[in-house]
Every structure is written in structure tokens, then in C-alpha cells.
Structure 1
């Protein structure tokens, strides 16, 4: 670290040529690996004026709900809302996107009296357009759900112009179209499709069509078929000595490729199309590229006002994460922050200062400092700075300052299990018992009894408050360390106030942690869905009461260190489990089971809440890995390798499969008997299908996914967090420059301190120290940007598999 810091004072290291040479060397490392990591966070707020659905049902009598799909794969579903054409969903969502995708879609469905799901409309947003709506709420008009518009996938085509000389010496021009393969075609009824393609040469007065063979049970068919089309009429060779397609022909002709699913007993299902103009061959007689499949434009779209609208808030993030060595300088500069004097001159504080209005901007810094055990000294220094500017003890830590934002994020990360153990049982009781607690006379319904409601409210508050006050033994050590530091700092700042040491802690524990979790349990994963309006009102009353009680600092006087926490349920979902050890004919190989993961065991059940059919201690889990689709011809499968036979499981979708792998990997990452290798396929017919080894006990043929020995709550990808910080700093270069200018102005000006606008925007205690940090930040950002530029030069070109062409539509 000292050598790194001193390096910026060495002019030789600042030479662009040397930095570029260093960057090239790092780019050529054998272990260089670039990761594209995607995540989506947002909220399905509400729908308005939903239009009619097909059938005799009245819209206002139907239950409606909303789903989220990546391409055609559903990954999220809200709960249903009865009898409303303008339902308020209020559903927050967040998930990592584990695969490439083309389109993000939100569907609104209505459920008929016979429980049939009827599509009302949809909102589809191309991946490339997601950045337009990031971070803010927008109203989207619902569009009709038409079978011809439900497409996904891409097709690989090759086209070339050939010159053909006939027997009589005349010349003709032929267009060769080779359809090579398709990828990521949609599932049909949850299964791989039976695709085929039609290839047509279309012009004003012609439409020649050819057809490929049907490929069975695959979403990635390899066709490798070639078709020939005559482009222009034959002419004598002497008259046309050089091949050239006539302008009027080439401008009007195009190749149309349609993909279909073969249905033996019904009408074939449209999977997508693309159109390629033949004039693309004018400059290059050979064209080979990947194309995105497009919907069929049939001109039958309804008016958007007919179907209603949907209010959404979306934040899509795509991080290009480079090899770890690229982030070392920036990471070191950030980790040095707790030692910088004053703390306002540190890199981490500068990031929080220029992003005061964006609450989520400090999260990557918090995660990075937590991982490297540097959070407590940093937040203590930041809290001390805030306390120096606090004049009244009763307003301590009440604003959205950098200190409060950092501690809020820390509690959400570190206290997740603690929160679930403490509050989930009583929150479940409140949501499921559905007792009325309304005490406002204006909001009382006919027949409500205020005294009974008051008793219900008091009973709930007592249970919640008791759960909190009795949970000190389960409070995570890191949270206790932070609260102890806050307590000491508060006593030092206000030595004559005997209660400030408690209010400093309770302002976080009650007001910013427990009370917020009670108010929005779905945001803290305590409930799977947003509560209905009546339950939400009850939780609001309880939360307000907890806030009031928590503001009395004398009620919270005892914090002790962490003891062994109770067992906590992390995931409980329905899956398809591979039957083990069954050889009798007529039995299904896969059965629906409820898979349950706690901090202590993995179990599966025939019915939710019933006795476990099998229980596996998490300490016996040796590996959790993906399973090749070819093993059982099923997608989204993973395996749990333990001391007995492997457990093969199929998740509901790709997001669920990724979450299962993450949770199971987290709870078992510290196990002593973890394997170094695994078999990505199954053992059948006397051999492993992946490596063909005939020994059932043979070591795996593929390395296991690398794991990091850490606490469950602190599984942090430091490279990704540093890349996020780099993106935030890069996108706000103007403010960094303004801060540099303010530092320079303050350092040069020798007169009395003035309140200038450029000073008030930032916290600058020592201009020279702050300017030096800003200078170091710019240097490391330039080097990191150079690394990105070098790798962007090798980015897939337009028309490649990773960057397909968006072709024309009908």
C-alpha cells in the first residue's frame, strides 16, 4: 500500500506510454476473465383502468395479478388483488439475472371464476432500452398479448451471391442462403420445442419459399441447410461480363426467415422471424451474421388506452467486471479511507459526498469495507464528524447523512438473519390472524369496536416489542461493535446528558431497523408479498408505536455479544426432485416436492408444512453445482452432493435455480469435507455421462465453483463492488471536478472563511488533503478506464452471437 501511494509522486509512473504498456500486460494475462453481471431491482406499483378480457367475465369481478418474465420465462409473480380495475400491487423485487436476455416483460393477468388465467395486457422493454427508465417511476401503456408477438431467440444465417453459367453460355445470378442454427428459442408449454424454419425470397411480385427439416425437442436447433434462389433473369455472358445485380431487383428483394414449432395435431406455433435485405450484399458478396428473431407485425394492435396502464420503477444494472488485478489500486485507495485524517478527505467519504441525493450509492463502499473488516473504524470516524456538527442531543442521527446511510446498509446486510429470527414469527402471526387494529375514528368501519381494536393493537405491540428487547443475545457482533462505538462517541460529545448514549443506539435499532421492517416486511424478506391494505394499516400502527417507544432512550440499555442464533429458514419452494433408488417400471422419475433450506438442514417434503421425507444436515453437503441439461433433458437443474447419493433437483426457472445454488452454497461453504471436483452429468448405464468413467466412486471431472469462507451475510464480490464504485465515480466526473476547484480555491484564498456556493456543496475540512485524494482517484480511474477501453476493443462485433443484429419486422 505505501509503495502504491508513493507511486503517484513518481513522474515516470504517470507517463501515458508506461501506463498503457502496463495495461496491455495485464490484459494479456492467461487468467484474465471478464464477467458480465446483471441485476434488476424495482417495484410493480399499480395498474390503472385495466381493460376487458375475453369471455363473459366482468373485469371488476376478477382477481388480477402481475408477472415478470425474462424473454418468455416467468421469474416473478405478485399476489392477486380481488375486484379492482385499478389494483395497487406495491411489490418490490430484486434478482440477479443469470443469463443473457433480450426483453423484459410485465404481464397483467385476470383470474376467471374457474381459475383460468386470462391475459389483460403486457409491457415489454428491450434490454437496450432499460437504461432510459432506470431509477424513476414511469407509467407504461399495456399492449395486447398476441401469440405472434411472443418471440425470443436468434438465428445464424449466411448469404452469398453466386454467378452461374448455363449450358448455352448465358449467365444467371443465384442467391445462396444457408441457415446454420438457432439459439434460445422459447419453451412451448414448459418443454423444448420441435422447430423448423421457412426461408423465403420476397419481392414485389414474387415469394419463393423453402423449408428445413423439423428438429425434435430442442431450443437450440442445428439446421445446416442451404437453399438457392434465382435473383435476376439470365442474360448472355458476353453482354454481362462482370457480375452485378440490377439496382431495381436488389433494392426490392429481401430474405425472410420464419421459425415455427411443429404441432402434429394442431396449428404450428410461430416462434419469430427476421428479414434481411438482399442489397446488403452489394458491398460484400458474402454475409454471415446472427440475427435476433422479431415479432410478426400483423397490424392488429389495440389502442393502448383500451387495456389500461402499469406504473413501474426499474433499475437495471450491468457491470463489466474485469480481472481482480485491475481493481487493486482503486480498492486499496478506498480501504485506506478509515486511516485518512480528516475522514472527509478520504476516497470513501468523497463518494458519499458527491452522491448525497442517491441513497444507494454508498452500498458498494459499505460492502467492500465490511468484507475487509474496515467498516467499524470508517463509520466511527464519519459518525464523529457528524456529531461535531450536531448541536442538540435530541436530534442525534436523525437525518440522512453519510453515517446514517452507511449504518442502515450495514444493518440490512449483517442483520438479515437476526431480523428474521426476531420478527418473522410475530409478523407471520399478524398477517395471518388478520385482527382489526384501527383506532382512528375517521377510518373505523361500520361495526368496528374501538376498545377491541385497541386491545388487539396493544397485544401486537407487546409481542413485537418483547421480541426486540429479548433479542440482544442474537444481535450480530458487528452491529454490537458499531453501537458500542456510537454510544462512546455520543457520551463524549454530550457528557452532561445521561440518556444520549442510549438514544444514539435506539435511533438505529428501533427507528431505522425494526420499525422499518415492521412497516415493510416484504422489503426485508420477512414476507413474500406486499400485505393487503388492512394488514398494511395494522403494521403501520405497530411501526409508529415502536418508533415512539424507541425514541425513549432509557428503554434500551443493554447490548451483549452474539450467541448461537436459532435455526432460520432461508428458502422454502416447490421443485421437481429426481427419484432416487427406484427401479420399478411405471414410477415417475421426477416428482413435485417442497424443498426447505435452513441454517442447519436441507429437507424435502411431500406437502408444504408436513413431515420431512428426507433430511440432510448442511454440514454433510460436499458440493452444490449446476447439472448439464443433457443429463435428464431438463433445464434449470442442480445437484446437491452429500455423504449419500447426489440429490438432483429441477428449479422452477433460471432465477430460482441461481438462488438455490447461492443459498445452498452459502450455508455449506464452511464445511470441512467440500469437494474440489464434481461430475456435471449423471451416472447411468454403468458410466458417468460426462467423462465416461465406469467407476461410480470416481473423482469428479470438473472443478467445483470457487467459494469464499465467510459468514453467510458477508458473501461479497469485491471486484464487482469496486467496479460499481468506479461506474458511480465515472458518471459524476463533473462533481469531482467541482470539488477539485473548490479545494483549489480554498487553498489559495488566505482571507477570512467565506460561505461560498462551491464550498457548501461538499464537506471540505482540509483542502490540500482532499485535493491529493481527488488527484489519486483520477489517476486510478484513468488506469481502470484504460483497462476497459482495451477490452472494449475485443468486444463482440455487431452480428456476432453475443451482439446479434436486430433485423427488420413485418
Structure 2
């Protein structure tokens, strides 16, 4: 007799997913000390017949990959080789670029590569480098970043990873409204149903487009910093490549943030976790029309020709005749300026600070232990996407600067602390900064702005003290040690979906596996470099290496040797580990799980 155990994943947005099952003999369960690991097995149908006539058919192509992740020190050489890719000249000779060259599907390489570079804060310079290479082959400004190159795929994947919460706070409310209370929006005369009024439908569509567009162009404060950094780099490179085109700096950014991010999320909200299910046919059609409109509005800031000429459909031309082009163009340009400022004349790969808020408030002197009116002084505060500063007067040099990345929490302060209303505190690792706003509305606005711009800070606090530390104790909990952990949970804690959990070793192992699988292509690329004139031996015909990008055969050859050597060493480490596991690990342990069903 045996007991069957099923494992399901109930966190899926659509429905629960069956992961696998095992069968364990009942007799072993009677042993109190029984512990064992089992590999999950497919579901067993037994002798029951399935009614296939009623179910239709489904073909699945499933790829199962088992990665054995070694301790971190084993990946040091490969990790360092990948992380220094952006410093290699030319970029096509780097390990990261070679990875994309040898993989049949670039997506296989892009996903672990982007995650690894993000984890180690190396993605922005790498994207800038591959984008510059991409631009060398771009002859027309109006086709900039429109293909599926390594650069565009890296940006696409980066936006999916870091932009989930950005999409949620920007689009989810309006997408929910469209899906839950749909209005007819069909304006194509061929697709109109009997009884439809095209004028009413056009008004409905215009209402939705206006609302989605408005949410997007006012969302720059929520745009993740790494996205702003990438957009800045792309904008600068585009302007450098086409110096005589004043619009290309906008199209370089809009081609991603509007066409490949917001427009795609609108037409497919379930894919971006904005909706639990695929929308019905009518709603899907509405979302498609809205997406088309958003793509066009997003490109208005970068078009030199007539805006309406970009439409193939006559009905869309008629729809857009109701839009005030200048008004929308200026809104798009301002939004693109906010998420990709180019005030700096020198390229740095990092966006310039975007101004978010400023105003005059009262600040209490930090470190004072007693209550007193003289401790509060009027100061000019300024918040940008990079730092929070205060000054004696407007346009004066800052007296004190707090980098945004150092802010740990922003919370209200109890009125009882200093017998003053409208106070809030900024916790940043030193003494808390206590600020009094002029009114409750202003206090709420500052707290919201500061919380939004610091929402992705990894070291944010979960607990804080709602009152001040005065006269040797915290007024809220009476603790006498100033460094005591807070006694109240932060009200503006970081949303769970802004956290990016990346296992750097896991991603490096995946990249190693890709290199190992494509060993023959690495060797072919190595031979191609060796056949070029700087090496001895006959030069091979161009067809032998025309599929590879080889700008510098010497540098590429050197990197290939390092990759192959590193992969061989990791192969040896894996073989040793597998032998050790099979010979020493107890059967039924995590290292050597039981395979197959036990009956």
C-alpha cells in the first residue's frame, strides 16, 4: 500500500498548476525518523480511460533544463569575464556579445545575461556599447532601434524585469476599468455590428485613449532609475549618430518606452500581470485600437512628416483628426525629457537628475536633544531623481544632500514630538531629518513624492519610530538606546513586486551551460578569427565566418580562448561534483533524490 502526494502551484494568475506527484509506501511513513527527497513524477492516469472525443487536442513542446549550481567561487572567472564585457574594445569581442553570437536563439542568451548584468549593476554600460554598434548599421533615423538586435532585446528584457511595478501603478487602474466596464469602441466601418453608432464608439475610444495617454505622460516619477539610465544613453548615442536630426533623440526613446513597453502592455495586459486572464474578443479589439493610438501619440514628438500619414487605415486617420497635435506632441516631449534627460554634454551612461519637486519648509536641526523653537529654521528643499537637498535660499548651494539611494524610509512624525503639526521624517542612516510642511496637503505630497522615488531602494526599513528621540529616550516606545529598531511598521513599505530577486550564480551557471552546449560554434568562431590575415595559414572564404561579427580578430580570439578555458575548467568541476554526489550522497537526500515511483 502506498500514499500519493500531489504538488500544485496555486500562485498562477489563471489557474492552479499541477507540478508533479510521488507515491510513498505507507510502511515507511510509520517510521518517525523517515526523511527523504523524491523527484516529482508525471500524473498517473491508472486504468481510467479518458474521454478524448470531448476534449479536443493540444500539442506541447516542453523543454526541461536541470542546472547544477556550484558554490559561488567556481564561477569567479566566468563571472568576471562577463562583467567586464562593456570595457572590451570593440564590444563584439566581449564574452557577453560572443554569447549572443553562438546561441541559435538570442533570447536564450539575453535572459540570463541581462539578469546577471542587472544584479551586478553592469547593464547600462553594456547596453550603451551594443547600441552604439547597432547604430553603425542604421542608415535612416526613422528606423532607429526598430529591429530585434542584441541591444533591443536587452532593453526589452530589462523593461520586463524592472518595469513590472511601473506598469502596475501606471496602467492597471485604467486597464481594469476598460476590462470590467467595457464600452463599445469599434470604429472600423467593416467591423461595425448592427446597431452600433460609430460616433458614440469614437467618443468612447477617445475617452480611453486620453485616459491611458494621460497616465503615461504623468508617470515619469515612477520610471525605474535603471530604465532612465538606459534611455539617457540611447538618446545621447542617437543624437551623436544623426547630429542633424533634432527629432531622433526622442524617437530613440519612444521606440522603446511607447512602442515596445506601454503599447505592448496595453494590447496584452495578461502577459504583464495587469489582468488575470486574456480579455474577451471585444475588449481585446478595444485594447488593440488603444494600443495603436498610444504608439502613434508616442511617436508624435519625433515625427517630421505629417502625423496622419503614418496610418494605413482611413478610419484611424479620421479618428486622429480630433486630436490637437501640438498639445500631445509637447506632452510626449516633456515625458521623454523627464525619463531621459540630456542636460549633460558628456556621455556618462547615467541619466541626469530629473527635477521632481521643490518648496520652502521648516527643518529641525539634526542631533539636537531638546525641544526648542530656535531649532527649527526655514529652508528651501529640492527633490530630484538623484538626491534630496535643502538650501538656505532658493538658487543657493545646498547645505545638506541625501542621495536618493541612501533614504531608508519616509514617514509622518507624531505631533506630540515637537508639538507641531504637518511633520514628517526622512530616515537615511544618520540622524533622522525632521521636516515641518506648511500644511497637511503639502506634507502628504512630499511624503508621496519621496516614497515613490525611493520605492526600489533595497535597504528600506520595515519598522520605524513614529516619534522623536529626545532627552535620552524614544517618545513612542520609551527605549533608551537610540539605535533600537523601530516600534511601528512602515506604512510606505516597498511593494513586493518591485523587488528583483536574482541569483547571480544561477544565471552564471545558465550562461556556462549555453557556452558548453555551443562549444562547436565557439571553435568555429575561433577558427574564423584564426583564418584572418593577422594569423598564419590560408585565409578561409568569407562564407565560413560571415555569420559572425568579427571587428577585431585578435581581441575576439583572445576572449574566445578565455571562454573555452573557463568552460573546460567548469566542466571538470561539474564532473567531480557528479561523481562525488553519486558515490557519497545518501540515496534519498537532497543531493541524490529518489528517482521513480515507489509502490
With normalisation by structure 1, the TM-score equals: 0.47
1:152 aligns to 2:22 (yes or no): yes
CA distance in 2, matches of 1:673, 1:764: 54
From 47, 70, 75, the counterpart of 2:10 = 75
From 745, 760, 765, the counterpart of 2:531 = 745
Task: Please name the residue that 1:800 is paired with.
Answer: 588
- CA gap of 1:727–1:496, structure 2 versus 1, over 3 A, is same
For 1:73, what is the secondary structure of its paired residue? Answer: strand
Task: Please name the residue that 1:779 is paired with.
Answer: 565
CA distance in 1, matches of 2:545, 2:279: 45
Task: Please name the residue that 1:720 is paired with.
Answer: 506
CA distance in 1, matches of 2:500, 2:354: 16
Question: Residue 757 of structure 1: CA displacement?
Answer: 2.4
- CA gap of 1:541–1:362, structure 2 versus 1, over 3 A, is same
CA distance in 1, matches of 2:45, 2:265: 47
Task: Please name the residue that 1:328 is paired with.
Answer: 76
CA distance in 2, matches of 1:525, 1:536: 15
Task: Please name the residue that 2:115 is paired with.
Answer: 367
Question: Residue 805 of structure 1: CA displacement?
Answer: 4.6
Alignment of 1:472-621 (within 5 A): 472-554=220-302, 555=329, 556-558=332-334, 559-560=337-338, 561=353
CA distance in 2, matches of 1:486, 1:459: 33
Question: Residue 531 of structure 1: CA displacement?
Answer: 1.6
Does the 8 A contact of 2:239 with 2:249 survive in 1? yes
Question: Residue 303 of structure 1: CA displacement?
Answer: 5.9
For 2:10, what is the secondary structure of its paired residue? Answer: strand
Question: Residue 522 of structure 1: CA displacement?
Answer: 1.6
Does the 8 A contact of 2:267 with 2:284 survive in 1? yes
Task: Please name the residue that 1:596 is paired with.
Answer: none
CA distance in 2, matches of 1:77, 1:347: 36
Question: Residue 489 of structure 1: CA displacement?
Answer: 1.0
Alignment of 1:92-491 (within 5 A): 105=18, 152-155=22-25, 179=27, 181-182=28-29, 222=32, 299-302=47-50, 304-305=52-53, 307-312=55-60, 314-355=62-103, 357-491=105-239
Does the 8 A contact of 2:254 with 2:299 survive in 1? yes
Question: Residue 534 of structure 1: CA displacement?
Answer: 1.7
CA distance in 2, matches of 1:519, 1:291: 39
After superposition, the C-alpha distances for 1:510-568 in whole angstroms (9 at most, x for unaligned) are 11111111111122121222222221111111111211222333433233346889xxx
Does the 8 A contact of 1:337 with 1:348 survive in 2? yes
Task: Please name the residue that 2:461 is paired with.
Answer: 671
CA distance in 1, matches of 2:39, 2:526: 47
Does the 8 A contact of 2:531 with 2:538 survive in 1? no
Does the 8 A contact of 2:141 with 2:242 survive in 1? yes
For 1:794, what is the secondary structure of its paired residue? Answer: helix
Does the 8 A contact of 1:292 with 1:804 survive in 2? no
- CA gap of 1:322–1:290, structure 2 versus 1, over 3 A, is closer
Task: Please name the residue that 2:576 is paired with.
Answer: 790
Question: Residue 414 of structure 1: CA displacement?
Answer: 2.1
CA distance in 1, matches of 2:268, 2:498: 23
Q: Judging by fraction of residues, say which structure has more strand.
A: 1
Task: Please name the residue that 1:587 is paired with.
Answer: none
Question: Residue 314 of structure 1: CA displacement?
Answer: 4.4
- CA gap of 1:430–1:70, structure 2 versus 1, over 3 A, is farther
Does the 8 A contact of 2:93 with 2:555 survive in 1? yes
1:732 aligns to 2:518 (yes or no): yes
CA distance in 1, matches of 2:544, 2:273: 42
For 1:497, what is the secondary structure of its paired residue? Answer: coil
CA distance in 1, matches of 2:5, 2:547: 41
CA distance in 2, matches of 1:356, 1:291: 31
Alignment root-mean-square deviation, CA: 3.9
Does the 8 A contact of 1:416 with 1:713 survive in 2? no
CA distance in 1, matches of 2:71, 2:285: 49
Question: Residue 359 of structure 1: CA displacement?
Answer: 2.0
CA distance in 1, matches of 2:541, 2:519: 24
CA distance in 2, matches of 1:375, 1:294: 39
CA distance in 1, matches of 2:39, 2:540: 61
After superposition, the C-alpha distances for 1:401-433 in whole angstroms (9 at most, x for unaligned) are 000011111112222222222111111111111
Question: Residue 714 of structure 1: CA displacement?
Answer: 3.9
Does the 8 A contact of 1:335 with 1:374 survive in 2? yes
For 2:148, what is the secondary structure of its paired residue? Answer: coil
CA distance in 2, matches of 1:403, 1:343: 12
CA distance in 1, matches of 2:504, 2:529: 30
Does the 8 A contact of 1:155 with 1:293 survive in 2? no
Task: Please name the residue that 1:218 is paired with.
Answer: none
Residue correspondences, number: 425
CA distance in 1, matches of 2:38, 2:228: 56
CA distance in 2, matches of 1:289, 1:750: 56
From 534, 546, 549, the counterpart of 1:763 = 549
Does the 8 A contact of 1:764 with 1:770 survive in 2? yes
Question: Residue 344 of structure 1: CA displacement?
Answer: 0.2
CA distance in 2, matches of 1:512, 1:781: 35
Task: Please name the residue that 1:581 is paired with.
Answer: none
After superposition, the C-alpha distances for 1:638-661 in whole angstroms (9 at most, x for unaligned) are xxxxxxxxxxxxxxxxxxxxxxxx
Q: Quick one: higher RCO (CA 8 Å, sep 6+), 1 or 2?
A: 2
For 1:441, what is the secondary structure of its paired residue? Answer: coil
With normalisation by structure 2, the TM-score equals: 0.63
Question: Residue 385 of structure 1: CA displacement?
Answer: 0.6
Task: Please name the residue that 1:585 is paired with.
Answer: none
CA distance in 2, matches of 1:756, 1:400: 24
5+ residue gaps in structure 1?
Answer: 1-68, 80-90, 94-103, 107-125, 127-150, 157-178, 183-214, 216-220, 225-287, 566-598, 602-618, 621-665, 675-709
CA distance in 1, matches of 2:146, 2:247: 16
Q: Judging by fraction of residues, say which structure has more helix.
A: 2
Does the 8 A contact of 1:747 with 1:767 survive in 2? no
Question: Residue 305 of structure 1: CA displacement?
Answer: 4.2
- CA gap of 1:754–1:464, structure 2 versus 1, over 3 A, is farther
Does the 8 A contact of 2:22 with 2:597 survive in 1? no
